[in-house]
Copies of this chain bind each other. A is one copy, B any other.
Amino acid sequence: MALRHAVLAALLDEELSGYQLAKAFDLGVANFWHALPQQLYAELARLERDGLVTGRDVVQDTRPTKRLFRVTGAGLAELDRFTASASKPSFLRDDLAVMVQAADHVDAGRLIERLTERAAVARAKTELFGTLLRTMRGDRSEEEFLRHGERIGPYLTCLRGLAFEQGNHDWCERTIAVLRERRAARAGG
């Protein structure tokens, strides 16, 4: 159950409400741990019940009252304990790969459509991650930032996300090229 640890890790830098956490997740943590807002609200409630985070209500004039959470000492200890335990292998879970596995038995044109869509999504994500990385390191070079920066965890996970999406993009393009060439060869021969 790493969702709870992902939430703790996301709350390390800032005090956030469930709503803000959901946004932060979408932007950062979702690269390696996707979760829906409902899960986050539920998890925050459990974490508070277990004393790993504390919440406080913040009344706002124009917006509804929100509840901000921050990690407690017990929460930090829990994260540390988590790091000491063996990590499960990371899984890729990909609809598109299932389709490609069946490539020789399904319509190639439609498969190329799906791959093209995915390539575009992957491209957009790499650009987003590039921007995020530049924002995090400010005017420092990556080497310099990673050597002396204060908070490098999110930067390092963002690097993984970037490489992952570049991998997605490259694979889509390569697969599209292969499928097109085979279609052309079949049409020509």
Contact = CB atoms under 8 A, between A and B. Distances in A.
B80 A107 contact: yes
Interface residues of A, number: 72
29 contacts: A2-B95, A5-B95, A5-B98, A8-B102, A9-B99, A12-B104, A32-B101, A33-B93, A33-B94, A80-B106, A83-B110, A86-B114, A87-B117, A89-B121, A90-B118, A90-B168, A92-B92, A92-B161, A100-B157, A101-B154, A103-B152, A104-B153, A146-B178, A147-B185, A148-B185, A152-B182, A160-B167, A163-B167, A164-B167
A83 B102 contact: yes
Interface string A95-133: 111111111111100110010011001000000000000
Nearest to A92: B32
Contacts of A80: 105-107
A152 B146 CA distance: 41
Interface of A: 2, 5-6, 8-10, 12, 29-34, 76, 79-80, 82-84, 86-107, 110-111, 114, 117-118, 121, 146-148, 150-154, 156-157, 159-161, 163-164, 167-168, 170-171, 174-175, 178, 181-182, 185
